[in-house]
Amino acid sequence: MRIGIVCPYSFDVPGGVQNHVMDLAEALIGLGHEVSVLAPADEDSPLPPYVVPAGRSVPLPYNGSVARIAFGPVSTARVRRWITRGDFDVLHVHEPLALSLSMLAVLSARGPVVATFHTAMTRSRVLSAAQGALQIVLERITARIAVSALARKVQVEHLDGGAVEIPNGVAVAKFAGVEPLPGWPGECAPGTGGTLGFLGRFTEPRKGFPILRDAFVELARQRPGLRLLVAGPGDPDDLFDQFPPDLRERVTFLGLVPEEEKARMLRSVHLYVAPNTGGESFGMILTEALAASTTVVASDLDAFRRVLDGGRAGRLFPTGDPVALRETLAELLDDPAQRAELTACGDQVVANFDWPVVARRVLEVYAAAIEATDGRVIDQEWVGPD
Amino acid sequence: MPGMWWVVGATVVAALVVAYLIWTAGRVERLQGRAQLAARALDAHLLRRAAAAAVLAERRYGVELYAAARIALDARPDEREAAENDLTRQLRTVRLDPTDPDCEAVIAASRRLALARQVHTDLVRDARTARGRPVVRLFRMGRGHTWPRYFDIDDPTLAVPAADVPTR
């Protein structure tokens, strides 16, 4: 199948949607399909061979962060040319409602269009105000995919349409069997040692780092040798100031780790802790920790409960409760058998999130979109070679 | 000559209105066509599932499933939704083994049917919204087509033991 994928955000900066698009494209190519990805990027930036740069992007504040996107007459011309040259069987756009290449591609498309919605905006005034204009974009889309139950809810409640829920994938092969960082995770015996991990913006309240800090400080006083490994963007001083001076040497800060290092970091801990207090629509980091065969302890959020199969693949604790978290951590650090049981179940669960599996489900949506456009049913073979 | 400007202004407004009406008529036509094609694809997937279920019934599970599949295949348009729902219920009562090729065919057909149903529902909704707009009704655009109908059936996805995704 010839597939054209449009990414609205620039590959010059890392981000969730960009990673999703790259992993999906690589999985589809791995299944034997022809894929071309159109994304805003400078002509001279290093890009994978399947990416077509659509020119310089402009930084625009969007949904609480800065997105680098491309929009305007020059971009329109490039999108048109790419669509004509590509002669795609199906066009797959991401976040088509952002003012971006994706929206331009939808408006220029002729054949079947599949759209993936990533954001889970719970309430958007923009959406309700511009409903009439958005309808023109939406009615050119043949099939819709939502990456999480929350993103699907936005579809149903605010955009008046259904969507197939297909989760974010995780490249299990990139995480499994990676060497941990030298010297980690270290000793872990009943009553002593053990390493906890946290990855993300520790200054952002909804990531819940203070809950983990409270639990760690209490537990570290009872448990000699307990260490904490933190990775993510931020100033080291802001992090270490949160801890009493005598415990600071037991906290290690890696700073912002590149994508390849993430797997090693996750393999370097006994327990990965996700103390988030809300605002997570999917819980990508949990699937990554599961792929790295690390035991996960996470707050009891809807999104996390779904990924962890209701607590079978990782332990859940009451959201925002440092005492409950400390007890859970102490129990799991003392019980290697239970940790092994959780990771074994985690391996099974994460197999459902592996990119080749997820890409096959996306291919079925492509097939449905193509069929609905020409009214003919495609044979099963389109789903890809086994 | 102020009267001249009135004429020019009125002509421009009239041209814009006509352009808008032509564009709207094209839009209604396109959405109607899309809904019809999606209905054909849905129909094909319904037949596929019923056929796969009939094959499975002949080889493994007896009369009740076979009868349900037969009824779904032969149903008149006004009985079809109920017949398809009956077939979904029958399929849910039997134990499907994903390693058996006949079962796998039914499971895959049901999954594809669920997607076709989702797409059809969305496209019908778009077409009905367009048909229902006041300007479309006023000029009776799209009157060459019947009103697009929803095909109202339960979600046909079958719960598969162990894994609910294709891991073949």
How remote is the C-alpha of B164 from its chain's centroid?
23
CA–CA min distance B132, chain A (Å)? 14
Helices A284-291 and A259-267: crossing angle, nearest 10°? 60
Residues in B closer than 8 angstroms to A350, CB to CB, are none
Separation CA A36–CA A49 (nearest Å): 9
The stretch B88-108 carries a mean pLDDT of 83
Amino acid at A322: P
Cα dihedral A311, A314, A315, A318 sign: negative
* Ordered domains of chain A (ranges, CATH): 2-169+354-383 (3.40.50.2000), 173-351 (3.40.50.2000)
Nearest CB among A144, A160, A360 relative to B166 is that of A360
Give, for B120, the enclosing helix (H) or strand (E): helix B101-132
Q: Are A100 and A69 in contact (CB under 8 A)?
A: yes
Specify if B155 maps to a domain: no
| Binary contact (B163, A352; C-beta < 8 A) | yes
Pairing of strands A58-62, A65-69: antiparallel
Is residue B161 domain-resident? no
CA B111 from chain center: how many Å?
14
> A375 and chain B: CB distance < 8 Å anywhere?
yes
Of A162, A371, A386, the CB nearest to B168: A386
The one-letter amino acid at A369:
A
Most confident of A50-59, A96-105, A361-370: A361-370
Q: Per-residue pLDDT tens for B4-25?
A: 889 999 999 999 999 999 998 9
Q: Would you tell me the crossing angle of helices B80-93 and B2-59 to the nearest 10 degrees? A: 40
Question: Residue B119 is nearest to which of A160, A372, A380, comparing CB atoms?
Answer: A372
Reported as a single tens digit per residue, the pLDDT across A301-337 is 888 888 888 888 888 888 888 888 888 888 888 888 8
CA distances from A165 to A126, A144, A156 (A): 24, 9, 12
User: Mean pLDDT over residues A145-170, rounded?
Assistant: 77
Helix (H, G, I), strand (E, B) or coil at A251: strand
- CA-atom Rg of chain A in angstroms: 22
The answer to the question of residue B64 being in a domain is: yes
pLDDT value for B12: 94
CB-CB neighbors (< 8 A) of B166 in chain A: 357, 360-361, 364, 383
Q: Which of A61-65, A66-70, A138-142 has the highest mean predicted lDDT (pLDDT)?
A: A138-142
Domain that residue B68 falls in: 2-138
Residue B167 confidence (pLDDT): 39
For A104, other C-beta atoms within 10 Å of its C-beta total 27
- Cα separation of A255 and A243, whole Å? 17
- Mean pLDDT value of segment A48-71: 68
Amino acid at A25: A
Residue B144 inside a domain? The answer is no
- A21 vs B1: which has the higher pLDDT: A21
The verdict on residue B73 lying in a domain is yes
Q: Is the dihedral of CA B129, B135, B136, B137 positive or negative?
A: positive
Sign, CA dihedral B155-B161-B164-B166, equals negative
| pLDDT value of residue B165 | 42
Give the Cα separation of A247 and A240 in Å (integer).
9
In a domain, B85, yes or no: yes
Enumerate the β-bridge partners of residue A316. Answer: A298
CB-CB neighbors (< 8 A) of B126 in chain A: 135, 138-139
Contact A17, A7 (CB under 8 A): yes
Integer angstrom CA distances of residue B30 from A54, A110, A195, A368, B145: 29, 11, 60, 19, 12
Q: CA of B16, closest CA in chain A: separation in Å? A: 18
Residue with tokens 């958007």: A124
Residue A304's SS3 state is: helix
Q: Do A368 and B116 touch (CB under 8 A)?
A: yes
pLDDT score for A280: 66
The answer to whether A283 touches A298, Cβ cutoff 8 Å, is: yes
Chain centroid to CA A367: 25
In the 3-class helix/strand/coil scheme, how is A83-116 assigned residue by residue? Answer: HHHHCCCEEEEECCCCCCHHHHHHHHCCCCEEEE
Q: Which of B45, B120, B168 is closest, CB to CB, to A377?
A: B45
B17, part of any domain: yes
Count CB neighbours of A372 within 10 A. Answer: 26
Calpha distance B125→A159 (Å, rounded): 12
Is there a domain that residue B27 lies in? Answer: yes
Rounded to two decimals, the pTM is 0.82
Q: Contacts from A42-50 at CB under 8 Å and sequence distance 24+? A: A42/A12, A45/A11, A45/A12, A47/A11, A48/A22, A50/A25
pLDDT of A260 reads 77
Using a CB-CB distance cutoff of 8 angstroms, which residues of chain A are in contact with residue B36? Answer: 375
Radius of gyration of chain B (CA): 24
pLDDT score of A44: 73
> β-strand A58-62 against A143-146: which pairing, if any?
unpaired
Most confident of B7-11, B53-57, B60-64, B141-145: B7-11
Give how many domains chain B has, as a whole number.
1
Q: Which residue type, as a one-letter code, is found at position A184?
A: W
d(Cα A4, Cα A7) in Å, to the nearest integer?
Answer: 10
For B143, the 3-state DSSP assignment is coil
Instruction: Pull the structure tokens for residue B18.
Output: 């006509």
Give me the helices (H) in chain A, please. Answer: 16-30, 73-86, 101-108, 125-129, 131-138, 149-158, 172-175, 209-222, 236-240, 259-267, 284-291, 302-307, 322-333, 336-351, 355-374
Residues A147 and B125: their CA atoms lie apart, in Å, by 22
- Residue that is written with structure tokens 């800090």 in the block: A213
Residues 6 or more apart whose CB falls under 8 angstroms from that of A167 comprise A147, A148, A282, A287, A352, A353, A358
Q: Does the beta-carbon distance from A377 to B41 stay under 8 Å?
A: yes
